[in-house]
Homo-oligomer: A and B are copies of this chain.
């Protein structure tokens, strides 16, 4: 049996939810409320000692890290619709996109998201409560990020992140001159990756970048992504509204 522990269908959780729906692989959904810090509960740390979603549980084999989960789905379910090219050159191109998106784009968009959502969550707690939650976070990097969210990220960091997003959007806009998707004519994990970490939120979060003057091909690509049944199914998933208020727990 396949189980997925996940949050709402965007960013990290979106990558795997979309892959599962596109590949038409049935799974048992376990919603984890990040804004109630469920991912740091002792029972969850047994699944992933890093305290992060998503976690895939395939008959007891636990897989973490979204890009590794994606390729695992491809390797473990070879008879389902494929999201990885067959050709060695195209696979390498897909992986180069994934590495760039995972290591450079994700964090740049993420701190803008955290500045709003995680900050609201952090500020809803008094300092003692906040510190109690923070003390449970296994990764030092995540503890720092939560503290930074409570303080507010420095404007210089937010601006630098925006420039990285602008650069990423330009790279994708340029790539889309060559075809409808990031790697040739096929919708792959690279498209899902860029959509979930950046492309899907570009118009809303970065309107000076995500507009028809600057990125016409990219916005057409977003429409093509939305038109895919698997993507639509993932986005329509009935997950509990995350409350942004850890106190309500």
Contact = CB atoms under 8 A, between A and B. Distances in A.
Interface of A: 61, 63-65, 68, 71-72, 75-76, 88-89, 91-92, 95-96, 99
B61 A96 contact: no
A95 B89 CA distance: 19
This chain: how many copies in the complex? 2
A131 B73 CA distance: 48
Between A65, A72, A88, the greatest number of chain B beta carbons within 10 A of the residue's beta carbon is seen for: A88
A16 B63 CA distance: 26
Nearest to A78: B88
A192 to B, nearest CB: 17
A162 to B, nearest CB: 16
Contact of A95 (B68, B76, B88): B68
A91 B65 contact: no
A64 B92 CA distance: 9
Nearest to A98: B68
Nearest to A76: B88
